[in-house]
Chain A
Amino acid sequence: MIRQVRVAQSGMAGDQMSNAMILLIVLGLGAVGYFLGRRRALAKVGGDPRGLHSLPRYYGANVAMNAVVPALVLLVGWLIIQPIVINSAVSGMIPESAVSEGSSISLLMSDVRRVADGLDAAVSQGVMTEAEALRLDEDAVKEALAGVGVALGADVTAETLAAAQRYREMAGTGNVLKAIVIIGAALIGFAVAFGRTTPDFRARNVVERGVMMVLIAAASIAILTTLGIVLSLIFNTVEFFRLYPASQFFFSLSWNPSFSGRGGGSELGILPLLWGTLYISFIALLVAVPIGLFAAIYLSEYASKSVRSVAKPLLELLAGIPTIVYGLFALLTVGPLLVQVFGDDGALGVDWMQGGTAVMTAGLVMGIMLIPFVSSLSDDIINAVPQAMRDGSLGLGATHSETVRQVILPAALPGIVGAILLAASRAIGETMIVVLGAGAAARLSMNPFDAMTTVTAKIVSQLTGDSDFASPEALVAFALGISLFVITLGLNVIAMMIVRKYREQYE
């Protein structure tokens, strides 16, 4: 079995090898292009680089760039578009009647892909020949594929098998075509650039433009990824609202999902979760803002250089601790400690706290996590207040703390508010500490010693385990996610606006 799995993987690797081969060939062409372009430029002026418009290496880089970049762009585009094209062509083949009750075309398509992959694997490891694979009938498929380590759930219907064969055929043609087109593009780019390599050609300017394009591409990938994430959230959220009323989601006061299969309707109101999120974040900020701000004031205004050089990295070390470790700290140390004080037999004898997991536990620990965040940002902002402000205030006979309170903090205030809002958006998005420290009960309570839960923690619990991605119980995670995203985005935008306004003041 293990051997078979490994072979199956190597079959898939074989498919990827062709992409890797194309990539290698293109890069090889680029490398060759660099040296040939350089040599040709030098040869044209008899080996004297002073006769060239640009340095010889720019001519080489120009050829390499023209060979590699368009081909790579084409390759990426092809890899994205080919599966889409094949999918739509093949799914058109499957008749409406073949889609059984309780299933969907997309489920069927994943079956088709599995069969196709399995056949590919079987051929590539020599269990059957290509001709045998084409002649295989639907009864033998399941058995044959089990032999190469691909387990199929349902029986393979004739339609599925036909679709799978068509899928394989199209993918095969596509792959051959892909190799030809991409290597061809590389060769054409190579030839064009090589032909243009003359002493008057402004290779340096062209390479400069190429560099700019690469930088633009890097920036757009980051932006497009964000866009993609947002779109996927939106589509799934729309799907969720088709299954579950939006008014219930936004205004219902209870969160009580029942998992499909066990029957019963779910109550999926966001308000209890949002309340937990905001309550915990509020306590976290109550801890982090004063401590972080005072630490920043000490570090930037009072500490000597040597203290600062030790204390600042130590404080920022807190930021490097993984949040799961903070979660453990909350669960094992802070929670029990709080119970000892506020619990039933606690030091105060108040019986406010039933168990170790509570809003207070998670809030305190999250506050500690945010201290370096607040202090490091505030420290930078306080340092950016011009020395002339301090001198002016001290020169008027103000003490150090009067100067801080009345001149430096007001001058730095917009920046500090920005830092706090950024910290708030981190608190809202924090997950691990909440999962371990706050409990799992969704409830609307004012008591900070009650267990509550947050939006993030519920996203985790809705999507982990045995969840059916078509049910509202799982899709609600996307609606929760986008709600959270909108909130933190709003906070970040406000923070950025405030910070920008502050920056303008001293320019």
Chain B
Amino acid sequence: MEDMIQMDRAMSTQQDIKIRANGVQVYYGENHAIKDVSVEIQDKTVTAFIGPSGCGKSTFLRCINRMNDTIDICRVTGDIRIDDEDIYDPRVDPVQLRAKVGMVFQKPNPFPKSIYDNVAYGPKIHGLAASKADLDEIVEKALRRGAIWDEVKDRLHAPGTGLSGGQQQRLCIARAIATEPEVLLMDEPCSALDPIATAQVEELIDELRQNYSVVIVTHSMQQAARVSQRTAFFHLGNLVEYADTDKIFTNPEDPRTESYISGRIG
């Protein structure tokens, strides 16, 4: 077990940088929410953002697929590159970007449509399927990767809202990966789930790592320790420390990180 983790570590450090953020500042009106954050996120790795509530970790996550554009008063400056392409360049279409950078939200939010239509939604609007058979295949593949195919294959046309919370969240993950994203952003994906559903989703996240760069925001330090290889600690809008997960949890450099993981702040 220890060996495997060591191997993972070794592999992950060798991998390319997928997302490179440099000097990112975010303002909500007058409020300076993210202060000069620079971070490099590796491909095929699970990166966890931890920190107390209101520290800016979700805000930063939403910068990566430009979801903050949908909030009127939000202003982002600085430089975020995915595969060396500046995503805030005026030539970049945020709509196309979001197809490439999938997102899973805190609360499961299936559309009031059938399970099939939920998953087919992204491929349909982006024209990824040439035919009905093609679409069926995409939907099945996404549901299989979302580790929910066996549970729903007999009722693909039942409403997605009728599933249990854990199933809904896995459906949302399947929906996000149906558009073949390169990066998957997860904003506290397990906070509305019970422990069993959480375990299923965590297992799924670990599998997704083989194909995607996964960034997960979490309130649970245990969860960060379980699923991630790299961890970033945010505090009051600053990126305090960013390192391998076991280093953060066993030997943090910054006293604030140590206070947080030992439960003294946050």
| Interface, chain A (partner B; CB < 8 A) | 304-305, 386, 388-399, 402, 406-407, 410-411, 505
- A-B pairs, top 3 by smallest CB distance, nearest first, are A397-B99, A388-B109, A395-B103
The answer to whether A396 and B98 touch across the interface, beta carbons within 8 angstroms, is yes
Which single member of B67, B105, B113 contacts A388 (CB below 8 Å)? B105
Minimum Cβ distance to chain A for residue B104 (Å):
8
**Chain B residues whose C-beta falls within 8 Å of the C-beta of A391 in the assembled complex:** 67, 70, 103, 105, 109
Check B67–A396 contact: CB distance below 8 A.
Answer: no
Return B139 CB to nearest CB of chain A, in Å: 14
Tell me if B161 and A505 are in contact (CB < 8 A). yes
**Chain A residues positioned under 8 Å from B72 (CB to CB):** 304-305
Let me know if B122 and A397 touch, CB within 8 A: yes
B95 within 8 A of A: yes
Contacts A402-B125, A406-B121 given; indicate if A397 touches B112 (C-beta within 8 A): no
Q: Which residues of the other chain, B, contact A395 by a CB distance below 8 angstroms?
A: 65, 67, 98, 102-103, 105, 176
Judge whether A410 and B113 touch: CB under 8 Å. Answer: yes
Judge if B170 is at the interface, Cβ distance under 8 Å.
no
Q: Select which of A304, A397, A399, A407 is within 8 A of B111 by beta carbon.
A: A407
Give Cα A416 to B111, complex, Å: 18
Evaluate whether A398 and B95 lie within 8 angstroms (CB atoms) in the complex, with A304-B72, A386-B109, A392-B172 already known. yes
User: Which residue of B70, B113, B122, B161 is within 8 Å of A396 (Cβ)?
Assistant: B122
Contact residues in B for A397 (Cβ distance below 8 Å)? 95-100, 122, 125-126, 179
Residue ranges of B at the interface with A (Cβ–Cβ < 8 Å): 65, 67, 70, 72, 95-100, 102-103, 105, 107, 109-113, 121-122, 125-126, 161, 172, 175-176, 179
> Of A390, A396, A398, which contacts B176 at CB under 8 A?
A396
Within the complex, what minimum Cβ distance (angstroms) separates B216 from chain A?
Answer: 15
Listed by A's residue number, 8 A-B pairs whose Cβ atoms lie within 8 Å are A391-B70, A393-B121, A395-B98, A395-B102, A396-B121, A398-B121, A410-B112, A411-B111
Query: Which of chain A's residues have a CB closer than 8 A to the CB of B161?
Result: 505
Residues of A within 8 A of B109 (CB): 386, 388-389, 391-392
Q: A305–B71 Cα gap in the complex (Å)? A: 12
Q: Please tell me if the beta carbons of A388 and B125 are within 8 angstroms of each other in the complex.
A: no
Complexed CA–CA distance, A305 and B29 (Å): 14
Quote the shortest CB–CB distance from B257 to chain A (angstroms). 30
Residue of A nearest to B121 (CB): A396
Min distance, Cβ A386 to any Cβ of chain B, angstroms:
7
Bound CA–CA A304/B70 (angstroms): 12
- Minimum CB distance partner of B70 in chain A: A394
B65 proximity list for chain A (CB < 8 A): 395
Question: In the complex, what's the smallest C-beta–C-beta distance from A389 to chain B, in angstroms?
Answer: 6
Contacts of A505 in B (CB 8 A): 112, 161
With A and B bound together, what is the CA distance between A305 and B99 in angstroms? Answer: 28
Which of B100, B111, B125 interacts with A392 by CB under 8 Å? B111
A317 CB to nearest B CB, Å: 26
Minimum CB–CB distance for A492 against chain B, Å: 25
List, in ascending order, chain B residues with CB within 8 A of A386's CB. Answer: 109
The answer to whether B125 and A396 have CB atoms under 8 Å apart is yes
Which chain B residues lie closer than 8 Å to A396 at the CB level? 98-99, 102-103, 121-122, 125, 175-176, 179
Chain A residues within 8 Å of B112, by CB: 389, 410-411, 505
A108 to chain B, nearest CB (A): 67
**List of A residues within 8 angstroms of B99 by Cβ:** 396-397
Question: Are B70 and A398 neighbours in the complex by a CB distance under 8 Å?
Answer: no
Q: Which chain A residue lies CB-closest to B100?
A: A397
Output the nearest chain B residue to A392 by Cβ-Cβ distance: B109
Beyond known contacts A396-B102, A398-B125, A402-B125: 18 more, CB 8 A cutoff:
A386-B109, A388-B107, A389-B112, A391-B67, A391-B70, A393-B121, A394-B70, A394-B98, A395-B65, A395-B102, A395-B103, A395-B176, A396-B99, A406-B111, A406-B125, A410-B111, A411-B111, A505-B161
Bound-complex Cα distance A314 to B95 (A): 33
C-alpha spacing A506/B172, complex, angstroms: 17
User: Min CB distance, A415 to chain B, in Å?
Assistant: 12
Return chain A residues, CB-CB under 8 Å to B70.
Answer: 390-391, 394
Cα–Cα distance between A407 and B161 once the two chains are bound (Å): 13
CA distance A398 to B65 in the complex (A): 13
- Chain B nearest CB: distance from A401 CB in Å? 11
**Contact: B97 with A389, CB < 8 Å?**
no
Of A304, A397, A402, the most chain B CB neighbours within 10 A belong to A397
Most buried by B among A389, A396, A398: A396
- Bound state CA distance, A407 and B98, in angstroms? 17
Q: How far is the CA of A129 from the CA of B65 in the complex (A)?
A: 96
CB nearest to A388 among chain B residues: B109
* Most chain A C-beta atoms within 10 Å of own C-beta, residue among B99, B105, B111, B172: B111
Residues of the B chain whose Cβ atoms lie less than 8 Å from the Cβ of A402: 125
**Bound-state Cα–Cα, A392 to B67, Å:** 10
Are A393 and B105 interface neighbours, CB within 8 A? no
**A residues in contact with B97, CB < 8 Å:** 397
Question: Shortest CB–CB separation between residue A498 and chain B, in angstroms?
Answer: 15
Contacts of B100 in A (CB 8 A): 397
Chain A residue numbers with a CB within 8 Å of B175 are 392, 396
| Complex interface: chain B residues within 8 A of A305 (CB) | 72
**Closest CB in chain B relative to A390 CB, distance in Å:** 8
Cα distance A391–B172 when bound, in Å? Answer: 12
B121 and A394 contact, CB distance less than 8 A: no
Report the minimal beta-carbon distance from A65 to chain B, rounded to whole angstroms. Answer: 49
Complex Cα gap A305–B105 (Å): 25
Give the most central of A391, A392, A398: most B CB within 10 Å.
A392
